[in-house]
């Protein structure tokens, strides 16, 4: 049974809309927080807006994974994301939860989320694999060297493509051994997560390699990231053009889904890139 997130030959790549309920995310931290915590109404309104603009899934996160970020307490992360997930699901949105904590995953699935998007590839919390298997969730396995707190201090690879490939092999096997169905797995090479500029460029160029080797959907997250700023000297708030170009090239190489902030703008790029690469 193929994954629901595998892009069809003549279909558009999927869009994952980013909804950060955090004070410190690199691009949009604090937008949906107020003095009392998450402004649920504002966050849900933005999630619904992205849904209507063409996002196939809304990715709700309550803990920043930007370079240098530290973990937040479980109770705080739950308070940030669960009410938002519950409301988005109630109005008909498909939702993923961006977390490394098994209890957040468990409660998010109970609230109606259908995907676990984990920057540690279900490796940070020993209970995460079982939560994924027990709930039947789709899972996005992302490669990261180190942790968000340390990943960009001095990343180094002998062969980034082979090392990421080996990592995927190990995490896929761990998922299958735990009882996660193979059709539930999505792979993310982790652009910007413990990577140098040269590594990010090599990984994007190698999407076709990962597709051919694993025959699984590939999620590409390039939206507003620092490597784009290194290429054009543009600040984070002015990188949508670069995001569109990198995403389009990723689609041409075979990416099935893009994780983006500006859904309205990027959906136009996705439609054009999907048609041209068909």
Residues 220, 217: Cα–Cα separation, whole Å: 10
**Which of the two residues, 229 and 72, has the higher pLDDT score?**
229
- pLDDT at position 164 is 98
Does residue 56 surpass a pLDDT of 70?
yes
231 phi, psi to nearest 5 deg: -80, -35
Determine which helix (DSSP H) or strand (DSSP E) holds 95, and give its type and residue range: strand 95-98
Tell me if residue 14 falls in helix, strand or coil.
strand
- Furthest-apart CA atoms within the chain: distance in Å: 48
Pick the CATH number of 14-277 from 3.20.20.20, 3.40.50.720, 3.40.50.10420, 3.40.50.450: 3.20.20.20
Residues 140, 85: Cα–Cα separation, whole Å: 18
pTM of full prediction above 0.95: no
DSSP-H helix ranges across 112-159: 128-135
Does residue 171 surpass a pLDDT of 80?
yes
- pLDDT at position 36 is 57
What's the average model confidence in pLDDT over 243-248?
A: 98
Residues 175, 184: Cα–Cα separation, whole Å: 10
- On whether the CB atoms of residues 37 and 79 are closer than 8 A, the answer is yes
Determine which helix (DSSP H) or strand (DSSP E) holds 188, and give its type and residue range: strand 185-188
Give me 140's structure tokens: 């996005």
Q: What is the pLDDT of residues 82-93, one digit of tens each?
A: 999 999 999 999
Does residue 233 surpass a pLDDT of 70?
yes
Confidence of residue 9 (pLDDT cuts 50, 70, 90): confident
- pLDDT at position 39 is 86
User: Which residues are annotated as catalytic?
Assistant: 225, 259
What's the average model confidence in pLDDT over 123-139?
A: 97
């Amino acid at each position: 049974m193929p994954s629901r997130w595998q892009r069809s030959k003549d279909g558009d790549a999927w869009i994952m809309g980013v909804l950060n309920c955090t004070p410190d995310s690199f691009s949009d931290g604090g937008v949906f927080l107020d003095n009392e915590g998450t402004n649920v109404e504002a966050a849900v309104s933005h999630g619904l807006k992205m849904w209507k603009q063409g996002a196939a899934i809304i990715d709700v996160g309550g803990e920043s994974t930007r370079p240098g970020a530290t973990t937040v307490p479980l109770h705080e992360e739950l308070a940030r994301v669960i009410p938002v997930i519950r409301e988005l699901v109630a109005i008909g949105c498909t939702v993923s939860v961006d977390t490394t904590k098994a209890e957040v995953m468990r409660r998010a699935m109970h609230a109606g989320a259908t995907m676990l998007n984990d920057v540690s590839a279900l490796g940070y919390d020993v209970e995460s694999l079982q939560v994924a298997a027990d709930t039947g969730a789709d899972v996005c396995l992302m490669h990261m060297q180190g942790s968000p707190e340390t990943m960009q201090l001095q990343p180094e690879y002998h062969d980034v493509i082979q090392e990421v490939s080996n990592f995927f092999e190990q995490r896929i096997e761990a998922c299958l051994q735990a009882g996660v169905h193979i059709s539930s797995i999505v792979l993310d090479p982790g652009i910007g997560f413990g990577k140098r500029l040269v590594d990010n460029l090599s990984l994007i160029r190698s999407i076709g390699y990962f597709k051919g080797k694993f025959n699984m959907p590939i999620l590409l997250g390039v939206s507003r990231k620092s490597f784009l700023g290194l290429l054009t000297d543009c600040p984070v708030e002015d990188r949508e053009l670069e995001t569109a170009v990198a995403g389009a090239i990723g689609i041409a190489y075979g990416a099935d889904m893009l994780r983006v902030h500006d859904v309205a703008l990027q959906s136009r790029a996705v439609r054009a890139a999907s048609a041209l690469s068909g």
